[in-house]
Structures are given as C-alpha cells and as structure tokens.
Amino acid sequence: PLPTVAIVGRPNVGKSTLFNRLVGKKLALVDDRPGVTRDRREGDASLLGLEFRIVDTAGFEDEDPASLPGRMRRQTEAAVREADVALFLIDAREGLTPLDEEIARWLRVEDTPVIVAANKAEGKAGESGRMEAFALGLGEPLAISAEHGEGVVDLFEALRPFV
Ligand code: GDP
Ligand code: MG
C-alpha cells in the first residue's frame, strides 16, 4: 500500500485546492458511504515522482470549536492517526487564528509527524504569515501556493522522508 498523507486545517485554508492539485487527473475514489467517509476524500497523488495516498479532511468545518468533538472531527482525527504524515495548512495571508492554534495543540500530542505549510503564499504575500506559523511549535513552516503551484520543491523535500 502507498504511504498516506492527511491534509488538515481549518476551513478555507486551501486543503481541497491542494488535494485537487496533487491528485490531478487521477482523482478516482470518492468514498461516500453514509456516515463513514462522507467528509473524507482520498486519492492517489504524485509530486515530482513521489507517489502517495492523500486524504482531504473536513473535520474542523461546520463545528463550534468549543464543542465536544463531533463525528466529522472524529473522522479527521482518525485520518491523521492512520496517516504517515499530516500536512497542516494555515492561511499565510490571514495569519494564525484561534482554531489554528487549537488544531496545533492537538497535533502536538499526536504521534503522527506534522509538516506545517503556509498556503496562499504566492509571490511574497505570505512571508509574515509563514513566520507567524513558527509559533505553532510544529517546526519550520513551508510557504506554498496550492492555487498557483508554488512551493512544490519544498513540499517534495518535506514529504520525502515520510512517504
Ligand atoms: P478548504 O476549505 O481548506 O478545503 O479550502 P479550499 O481549497 O476550498 O479553498 C478556499 C479558498 O481559498 C478558495 O477560494 C480557493 O480558491 C482559495 N485558495 C486556495 N489555495 C489558494 C492559494 O494558494 N492562493 C490563494 N490566493 N487562494 C487560494
Ligand atoms: Mg475543503
């Protein structure tokens, strides 16, 4: 089986855009078994010759972050636990939010290795957001742009040890 990368992050940071870019035309398996994987899309990804399974999660969406974990949140947590590495996206333009910090607190106590990527960082737009993301305590953040395909080599280098 291919190694697995789980994309995680709060709503609107660009998780699905990155998923679509990495899966490209090979998007095939969308598992919509009710109540099981409805909010979890998976596909085979390739990045500069690296081949891996990728999971697009949505467990931090449409939920009150202060509430107890709901079904979607539990699915996202399971996806991260089963993954070889978690790719934690933040929005480099907006900077950190309380929900980013909450997700980071959770990821820091999970065993799955984490790569932090500051998305929407095309051009120089994301540099201050990327620097801010050091404070998440999950290592050096990458700067990427899922929409414009920037940061591909850095992402490759970061993923390579895990996939
Ligand atoms: P998700 O909720 O985390 O899955 O985020 P989406 O992939 O749905 O993207 C949310 C919004 O961010 C959409 O309007 C995207 O077009 C936009 N977006 C995603 N990636 C980028 C990027 O690299 N740069 C910019 N400027 N916008 C992006
Ligand atoms: Mg999405």
- Provide the Cα torsion 83, 56, 101, 91; round to 10°: 130
Residues 43 and 2: beta-carbon distance below 8 Å: no
Residues 21 and 145: beta-carbon distance below 8 Å: no
Query: Ligand 2: distance of its center to the CA of 141 in Å?
Result: 21
Residue bearing the CA closest to ligand 1, atom 2: 12
Task: Tell me if the domain spanning 4-159 has CATH number 3.40.50.2000.
Answer: no
Beta carbon of 11 within 6 Å of any ligand 1 atom: yes
21 marked among binding-site residues: no
Beta carbon of 14 within 6 Å of any ligand 1 atom: yes
Query: Whose atoms come closest to the Cα of 15: which ligand?
Result: 1
Show the beta-strand stretches assigned E in the chain. Answer: 4-8, 41-47, 50-56, 85-91, 114-119, 142-143
Beta carbon of 147 within 6 Å of any ligand 1 atom: yes
112 marked among binding-site residues: no
Tell me what ipTM this predicted complex has: 0.99
What pLDDT score was predicted for residue 36? Answer: 41
pTM (two decimals): 0.90
Residue type, 25: K
Beta carbon of 13 within 6 Å of any ligand 1 atom: yes
Mean pLDDT by 10 residues, the chain (163 residues): 95 92 64 47 93 89 60 85 97 95 95 98 92 97 96 97 97
Query: Whose atoms come closest to the Cα of 89: which ligand?
Result: 1
Provide the phi-psi class of 92: left if phi over 0, else alpha when psi is between -120 and 50, else beta.
alpha
Beta carbon of 145 within 6 Å of any ligand 1 atom: yes
Two structure tokens written together for 53? 């399974």
Q: Residue holding tokens 């970061």?
A: 158
What pLDDT score was predicted for residue 121? Answer: 96
What pLDDT score was predicted for residue 125? Answer: 85
Say how many Å lie between the first and final Cα of the chain, rounded: 11
